[in-house]
Amino acid sequence: MTTGRPLRLLLPLLLPWLTAWLVGSAQAAPALQVGSKRFTESYLLGEIVTQTFVAQGIAAEHRPGLGNTAILAAALQQGQIDLYPEYTGTIVRELLRRESPADAQAPLAQINAWLRPLGLKAAVPLGFNNGYALALREADAARLGIETISDLAAKAPALRPGLSHEFLARADGWPALRRAYGLGLAPGTGLDHGLAYAALAAGQVDLIDVYTTDAQLARQPLRVLRDDRGFFPRYDAVLLMRATLDERPLLGLAGRLPEARMTGLNAAVELEGRPFADVARGFLRDDAGATARQGLMARLLAPDLALLLAQHLALVLGSLVLAVAVAVPMGVAAHRRPGLAAPLMALAGLLQTLPSLALLAFLIALVGRIGFLPALLALFVYALLPIVRNTHAGLQAVSAGLTESALALGLTRGQTLRAVELPLALPTLMAGVKTAAVTNVGTATVAAFVGAGGLGERIVAGLAVNDSTLMLAGALPAAALALVVQLLFGALERRVAHNGSHKPRDGRA
């Protein structure tokens, strides 16, 4: 029998996908990386910037929904992205941590002087201010007599806020606003901005944070509370970029987006269900009648499906190769040294219980970057337990008599492992690999939250605009992929079992 049989059987299945991903990554490396946050307007602006570059023959790639301000700014400083849409108030308060009201109204030249030591600059003012505000249902506001945030502090101690996760943590968000106005409201549980309006309309929450260019403000009977103490700075939209990036190809966008136009573009996505790329393309062509709302099949079979599938498979299969390379030796060690079995299983089980987003956050801090690497490592961690456990169980099931016979014939312990024990344990081992693979297909959708791509991008984008059709366009291919992976590994298991059933029982090859 040949050595390394488990890896030999798996590698023909895994290597083509890994090779395709590596080749694709190498080809895409020179492209400018345009980032965006996880809300409608940022997705749209990122797409507009990317298409503007491409129209001028400059290779550019949009990496949508990478996360909040802190993640995008860190990615920019580390060179993982080249630019992303940002707002002057956010730059001053959240990135530069300048608290004075005068600093919050600083001109762009002063902001750039503050950004220079960070190797960054803000350029291309887009023409609109998208400020933060608080809003509640018009009926509640009229009943309670609330028009300003000061009124909210005095008259509505029992309202249930549904504030976005970022607003709850920002330097210019809820904690500072609460101190400035003496608000007695408990902030409650964080809520994704894309779901906040639906939750407010359903009566699940009473107060939400909004952006002043949100399309939903004109659709629902809401009252936006006046910031009577001038707490919020201006949030003029600009492009935050590396200081060395040439902004001249983007200067044609300067001033082209007044607030009404930006609100209309947001509405085209959120209310009409049109794709981000088509709305951006229509804006750049000054074409108000771009593509109509797409149905589920059109979303499922959109041109990005092949790329997202390739990214998803690269994450799943890459993590699986790493897990097999580490978990099989761990299972062997647990079999050979019974005292190690309990600690190794406990360690693998503990890692399996870590929440996926918490693990991703830890790995981002550990490796110092977002994207493919931390997502790959997280999936590798989740794949360990079933492979370790099944390797150990398969080896334990091998007859001790067979092992002793092999040793009596003069085989070393290593030769006995490779020629007798692992081949006999292979069906059980392969069942563990299958479990890890199928589980990781589903878990890999979370990788989109850190810019690693994959089918989760559609789910995250759909969540940002509360578009269930777009979410299904990501969830259904992921479910189908899990089924295909299960069938493929099932066939591989049967082949292994069939080959094993035809081997001589005395161990001769």
Of 334-343, 442-451, 500-509, the range with the lowest mean pLDDT is: 500-509
- Three-point CA angle 214, 476, 471, nearest 5°: 5
Q: What is the pTM of this model?
A: 0.72
pLDDT 10s digits, 124-141:
999 999 989 999 999 999
Q: Tell me if 408 sits within 8 A of 400, measured CB to CB.
A: no
In order, the DSSP letters of 212-234 are TT-GGGGTS-EEEPB-TT--S--
Residue 5 has pLDDT above 80, yes or no: no
Query: Bigger pLDDT: 256 or 288?
Result: 256
pLDDT 10s digits, 69-116:
888 998 999 899 999 999 999 999 889 988 887 887 899 999 999 999
Beta strand residue intervals within 53-199, DSSP E: 60-63, 83-87, 120-123, 132-137
- Three-point CA angle 301, 305, 311, nearest 5°: 165
**Max mean pLDDT range (264-273, 377-386, 404-413, 492-501):** 377-386
pLDDT 10s digits, 328-370:
999 999 999 999 999 999 999 999 888 888 898 889 889 888 8
N- to C-terminal Cα separation, the chain: 6
| Average pLDDT value for the chain | 87
Task: Please tell me the distance from the alpha carbon of residue 232 to that of residue 89, in angstroms, as a whole number.
Answer: 8
* Section 167-179 average pLDDT: 89
* Section 8-22 average pLDDT: 52
Q: Which long-range contacts (CB under 8 A, 24 or more apart) does 96-99 make?
A: 97/171, 99/171
Residue 12 has pLDDT above 60, yes or no: no
